[in-house]
Amino acid sequence: MKRILLTLAALPAALLAQAIQPEQDIVDTLRSAVVTGTRVAMERDRLPAPISVINRAVIERSDESALMPSLMEQVPGLFVTSRGVTGYGVSSGAAGAISLRGFSAASGRTLILIDGHPQYQSIYGHAVADEYLADLAERVEVTRGAASVLYGSNAMGGAINIITRQPNFLGNRVSVKLMGGSYGTWRASATEQYSNGRFSLTANVAHDRTAGHRENSAYRSTSAMLKASYDLSAAWRLSGDVNLVKAYSQNPGTVDKPMFEGTADILRMMSWISLENHYDRTDGGINLYYNWGKHDINDGYAAGGKPQPYLFHSTDYQGGFNIFQAVRPWEGGTLTGGVDLKLYGGNAFRNPTTEIYADHKKLHEEAVYLLAQQLLGPFTFDAGIRMEHHSLYGVEWIPQAGVSVLAWPGASLKFSASKGFRTPNLRELYMYAVANAELKPERAWSYDFTLSQHALDGRLNAELSLFYTKGSNIIEVTVVDGKRANRNVGAFANKGVEFSADFQATPTLKFNANYSYLHMDTIYTGAPVHKAYFSGTWTPGRFSANLGLMGIKDLYLSTGENAVKSSYVDLKARLAFQATDWLSVFVRGENLLNRKYETMLGFPEPGITVLGGVAIRL
């Protein structure tokens, strides 16, 4: 242990020693073009809303099967709960609760998308973190703040758009990664990518398993992905994607109340097909998608209890299409119009005769939207409006507006105001004793001010955001006349500060840091008040080293008069060596300070965890 700590202590000095090497080309991750804000590529500095971009190199370096750990490190204001070495699970006691600026994806207030299509469990409205795999992603774009104008319901607090991989080269490439380590953890993945200029293909299979650091905390998953595209002409492209994830997890229960036979067996499928066009003055496409899930849950029993006589079963689906077209009718102007249609529903039951909670419920939404951007010298003006019709609630109008200005060389100032909303999910409307079919949509307004600065020929990039979000009509469980029920009685105001920076000190040395502060008038679990992350990456020749430090302060594990909070520091390190042109070996460690902490009440995190392996690229 002393040797590990001494090595880690010496690493920053070794990193700083590289700062005198000559400069080379720099990759500027804070100035990337993004598509999540408008559906067409646009430079981040020109978009009024703050958007974080996480690229493939960062995702791959994490060596994680799940995508969420990388996002939590790189995106200020984003936090994900965990309870073990790998895997999240579903149902009560599950981890993987995603919070962005205090908006929880578990309640459907932060929207997860894959290639612009919504991805969540339709009955409960929550994200399924085990479905979002690192092998899928080429990059991830995270909109911090309401994104309902473009994506409708569930994007009240923001949107996380996972953009899947496709080859950016000609020829054939096969990559394999094998790793294993602490607690009987094993991971394996293989990816095939091919492109001949007009046709491209990406295929991936992966398997992940662990015995877990606690009794009855095993996890395993198997996934497969196939994505293909074909250029019909210079302007038209046809593409499609199918992704399957089969995951099994055990819920060990809390330390004070261990669980037996608590298992979740899930199967998730995502598919889409699109036809896109790209001309000099217009871009657009039509996209059709269909998602489906099957969950078999054993809620288990505590000591002295009895095994469950029935499993909980649910199936859900979500399908639809969106059509959009962006045109540039005059100099500096872009108009984007779109139509969305979504049909979703499912069923849920325990005893198929007496305990039917959702009997093939289904709802639908239709929407049209218009976005406009105008560049006038250093200014960019942005405005949008969405009219959404819901089968239960009728019409909802969602506006947004913003402006950005290139204030001085390398600097931009941005301001945006946007409305977000969320329609109640099927669980809130129809399931269990607290169900209330009279619920109304939740609403919120988000205001953002952002300053970004690029200096030293793009080697130093920093961004500072101030935000304020106020919501009303929030659904909470209250007691009226002795009866507990879901009701639109809540209100909240969240405000805070977010900071991100990266610095390419030398061609072989890069630093990255981010920090967020969140003030919640109404306290929610799973959203820390302070969150900070720092990393340094050193790549001299065939050797590479990465050091990451995550600091969390005042993470609420429970609320109320006797609220429980957690504060901790997590130190990670990764060492890799490129042994040949096609083979690299690596080792990584997490929680190297062996801190005891929790992100969920009663579920302690594992101590020092070490994994090692090889990566092969042919």
Q: What is the mean pLDDT of residues 475-499?
A: 91
> pLDDT of 179-233, one tens digit each?
999 999 999 999 999 999 999 999 999 999 999 999 999 999 999 999 999 999 9
**Residue matched to tokens 């038209």:** 236
Residue 63 domain boundaries: 2-617
> pLDDT of 341-388, one tens digit each?
999 999 999 998 889 998 889 999 999 999 999 999 999 999 999 999
Cα 463–Cα 107–Cα 216 angle in degrees, nearest 5: 100
Which of the pair, 30 or 533, is modelled with greater confidence? 533
pLDDT in the model for residue 427:
93
For 351-354, the CB contacts below 8 A with 24+ separation are 351/309, 351/310
Q: Is the pLDDT of residue 91 over 90?
A: no
Question: Distance between CA atoms of 428 and 484, rounded to whole angstroms?
Answer: 12
Alpha helix stretches (DSSP H) within 271-399: none
| Confidence (pTM) | 0.92
Q: Is the pLDDT of residue 35 over 80?
A: no
How does the average pLDDT of the chain come out, rounded? 91
pLDDT in the model for residue 30:
53
Q: What percent of the chain has pLDDT over 90?
A: 80
Q: What percent of the chain has pLDDT over 70?
A: 94
User: From the CB of residue 72, how many other CB atoms can be counted at a distance below 10 Å?
Assistant: 18
Strand order in the sheet with 51-55: 51-55, 137-144, 158-164, 111-114, 117-118
pLDDT in the model for residue 235:
96
> pLDDT of 302-343, one tens digit each?
998 999 999 999 999 999 999 999 999 999 999 999 999 999
> pLDDT of 543-557, one tens digit each?
999 999 999 999 999
Question: Distance between CA atoms of 173 and 41, rounded to whole angstroms?
Answer: 27
Q: How many domains does the chain have?
A: 1
Domain containing residue 360: CATH number: 2.40.170.20
Q: What is the mean pLDDT of residues 52-78?
A: 93
Q: What is the mean pLDDT of residues 154-168?
A: 92
Question: Distance between CA atoms of 100 and 159, rounded to whole angstroms?
Answer: 9
Q: What is the mean pLDDT of residues 473-499?
A: 91
pLDDT-derived band at 279 (thresholds 50, 70, 90) equals very high
Q: Is the pLDDT of residue 506 over 70?
A: yes
pLDDT in the model for residue 115:
92
Residue 192: name the closest of 174, 165, 218 by CA. Answer: 174
> pLDDT of 557-608, one tens digit each?
998 888 999 999 999 999 999 999 999 999 999 999 999 999 999 999 999 9
